[in-house]
């Protein structure tokens, strides 16, 4: 479903209507034909879908007082929508978001909302991908603090001319305070996407999302690199 922001006429539109996707990039608004991606139905996807179901079931199992606590807590977790306008989560959405993050980093489900805390800005400063050196190396100048993690996502090799990716990202790993920079993720990368032999000249994107071990998400950062032989 498309999201529409009205001005005197229409100021902005995001999402899909029938077979058309409305979005925006550096050069302004654009429309494109909707493409339905292939669903490989991997074990990882199945696990994520099962987790969504279990989180929804857990919400239904909460007491009224517990659900009200999530609703009250949502005022402390204001965020912005796709247009950059501030909005507030519902109690259900906040419960789902926090527990989805906890699942992603391997932490246990929580039935009570966490206390808002500042997330350390651990960002990916550079990325280097080299076939001969067996290297997919990410550098991050800020150490990952104890009690926080970094969710690392990456793309398979794509065209060197590509400058924007979103749905192509796949979770690669979760880094913790034990992981020092620079970190060579070659083994994890090739296990997920396959060998990069013969892919010189193509591009890889990688993103870092810092999160606390209580399920609070920080600011995502990303880098890209051309694969060298």
Consecutive 10-residue runs of the chain (229 residues): their mean pLDDT? 58 61 55 57 63 87 96 86 76 95 95 94 98 98 97 97 92 97 98 96 98 96 97
Q: What's the pLDDT at 161? A: 95
Q: What's the pLDDT at 49? A: 66
Q: What's the pLDDT at 5? A: 61
DSSP state of 108: P
Tokens of residue 38, six digits: 């292939």
Q: What's the pLDDT at 27? A: 47
Gap between the Cα atoms of 144 and 149, Å rounded: 7
- Are 30 and 24 in contact by the 8 Å Cβ rule? The answer is yes
Q: What's the pLDDT at 36? A: 53
Domains of the chain: 3-33 (no CATH), 43-104 (no CATH), 126-228 (2.60.40)
* In the chain, beta strands by DSSP E: 3-6, 10-17, 20-25, 28-33, 79-80, 86-87, 126-130, 135-139, 148-154, 170-175, 183-184, 203-212, 221-228
Q: What's the pLDDT at 134? A: 97
144 cis-preceded (ω within 30 degrees of 0): no
Q: What is the pTM of this model?
A: 0.78
**Phi, psi for residue 65 in degrees, rounded to 5:** -65, -40
């Amino acid at each position: 479903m498309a999201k529409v922001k009205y001005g005197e006429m229409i100021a902005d539109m995001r999402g899909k209507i029938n077979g058309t996707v409305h979005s925006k990039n550096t050069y302004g608004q654009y429309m494109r034909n909707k493409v339905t991606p292939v669903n490989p139905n991997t074990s990882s996807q199945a696990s994520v879908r099962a987790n969504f179901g279990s989180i929804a079931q857990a919400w239904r199992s909460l007491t009224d007082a517990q659900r009200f606590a999530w609703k009250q807590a949502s005022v402390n977790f204001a965020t912005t929508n796709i247009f950059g306008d501030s909005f507030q989560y519902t109690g259900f959405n906040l419960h789902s978001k926090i527990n989805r993050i906890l699942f992603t980093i391997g932490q246990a489900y929580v039935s009570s909302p966490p206390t808002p805390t500042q997330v350390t800005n651990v960002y990916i400063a550079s990325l280097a991908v080299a076939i001969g050196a067996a290297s997919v190396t990410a550098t991050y100048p800020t150490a990952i603090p104890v009690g926080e993690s970094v969710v690392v996502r990456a793309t398979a090799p794509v065209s060197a001319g590509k400058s924007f990716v979103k749905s192509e990202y796949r979770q690669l790993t979760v880094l913790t305070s034990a992981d020092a920079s620079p970190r060579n993720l070659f083994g994890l990368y090739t296990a997920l996407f396959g060998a990069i032999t013969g892919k010189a000249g193509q591009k890889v994107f990688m993103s870092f999302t810092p999160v606390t071990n209580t399920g609070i998400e920080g600011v995502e950062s990303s880098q890209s690199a051309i694969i060298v032989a």
